[in-house]
Amino acid sequence: MGKALLAISEQNVANSFELFSRTLDIEWIKQALQASGTATIRRRKLPAEFATWMVIGMALLRDRSIDEVVDHLKLVVPQLGLPARISHSSTCEARNRLGCAALALLFVHSANKWAQASADALRWRGLAVYGVDGTTLRVADSVENAQAFGRPSNASGGAAYPQLRLVVLMVLRSHLLANFAAGPYAMGESTLAQKLWNDLPNDALVVLDRGFINYALFWQIQTGGSHRHWLCAARSNLRWRVLAVLGDGDDLIEIQTTAAQRRAHPGLPDVIVARAIRYQRRGFRPRVLLSSLTDHALYPAKEIIELYHERWELELGFDEVKTHTLERAETLRSKAPERVCRSCGASRLPTTWFVSRCFMSPNDSSFPPRG
């Protein structure tokens, strides 16, 4: 993508789009447009395929206006006897015609290709390693965005900008997103994350923050596929019964579920069997990890402890977008909620995150490299 942008700056448009197409197969764009019913039928100055690149360009060239992006990428198709120019209103109409569905389908297809390939290539003991966590992003300060997303409250009242809440399912070792869900700031991370668990593949481990501790969720992850596992830090007030001692600070345990939990989640068993691993690092308090990885021979405790700390890769992934791609501005610049987000079932996906996580400097056709 960097080479493509450099080619554009040197006015080598043909070469730049060849490089773009190596990153994102033009057939994927065409299929998404066809499936969403937004493919261009009649000849336009800014056809749907180019409108897709316009949205990508708006995220990568975020310091330029939409008209400058169109001009810089040379996206306008010249028509017989007319200059290759387009009015601002026509540019906005092209963006509106493109809509949400095509971009969402494009994200789903590219994420399935790249994230899955990345996770497969970076497995730990046969398991693809994922993480789930949440963050927030500021959006443009407009009445529409404030109504759609809300503002955080503080001592002096509301925050300066509306914010959306975002929960991601990330391949920890490459920072690629398998899926993510966005919603209003007031919506909790656990609620948003419910849209993501079905995307966790078989033979996978998901590393969670302890804020996601929920017995019904643990059971859902384990029973929702084949060899799906979870790993998280335990809360200090959590109680369990030891079934067997597997090693030093390593126990097989059972956790009792409550009658209220079982009524709310039919099928939830009376007890959940898990593994509790106690450890302490110098200068830090003792910590206990809980996991469904109960086979201590196949999954050594020492490796699980090290693996848990890869959860920090989620924060590094957030940093890559917020600090580096958005240059600490952290604001999605669209003033209308439908332009901030694209629909993907019940999920709403921000354009800048989609672009920056899927198109940054891949060096082969399979998936972008780590970082």
Domain ranges of the chain: 1-99, 117-318
Comparing CA positions, the residue from 366, 347, 10 lying closest to residue 193 is: 347
- Is residue 5 over pLDDT 60? no
pLDDT for the residue 168: 93
pLDDT for the residue 65: 80
Instruction: For 226-266, write each residue's pLDDT tens digit.
Output: 999 999 999 888 889 999 999 999 999 999 999 999 999 99
- Is residue 89 over pLDDT 70? yes
pLDDT for the residue 10: 52
pLDDT for the residue 98: 83
In this structure, which amino acid lies at residue 68? E
Query: Do 162 and 182 touch, CB atoms closer than 8 A?
Result: no
pLDDT for the residue 171: 95
CB proximity list for 87: less than 8 A, separation 6 or greater: none
Comparing 157-166, 338-347, 348-357, which segment has the lowest mean pLDDT?
348-357
Place of tokens 């899955």: 116
Place of tokens 């897709």: 52
pLDDT for the residue 292: 97
pLDDT for the residue 255: 94
**Mean pLDDT throughout 90-101?**
81
Comparing 92-106, 115-129, 298-312, 332-346, which segment has the lowest mean pLDDT?
332-346
In which band, very low, low, confident or very high, does the pLDDT at 346 lie, cut at 50, 70 and 90?
very low
Instruction: For 197-229, write each residue's pLDDT tens digit.
Output: 999 999 999 999 888 888 999 999 999 999 999
Place of tokens 């804020």: 211
**Which tokens is 28 given?**
């994927």
Comparing CA positions, the residue from 283, 293, 146, 284 lying closest to residue 229 is: 293
pLDDT for the residue 218: 94
Query: Do 279 and 291 touch, CB atoms closer than 8 A?
Result: no
pLDDT for the residue 264: 92
What percent of the chain shows pLDDT beyond 70? 80
326 CB-contact burial (10 Å; exposed 0-12 / middle 13-18 / buried 19+): buried
pLDDT for the residue 88: 80
Give the span between the Cα atoms of 241 and 235, in whole angstroms. Answer: 15
Instruction: For 15-31, write each residue's pLDDT tens digit.
Output: 555 555 667 777 888 88
pLDDT: which is higher, 355 or 142 = 142
**Average pLDDT in the chain:** 81
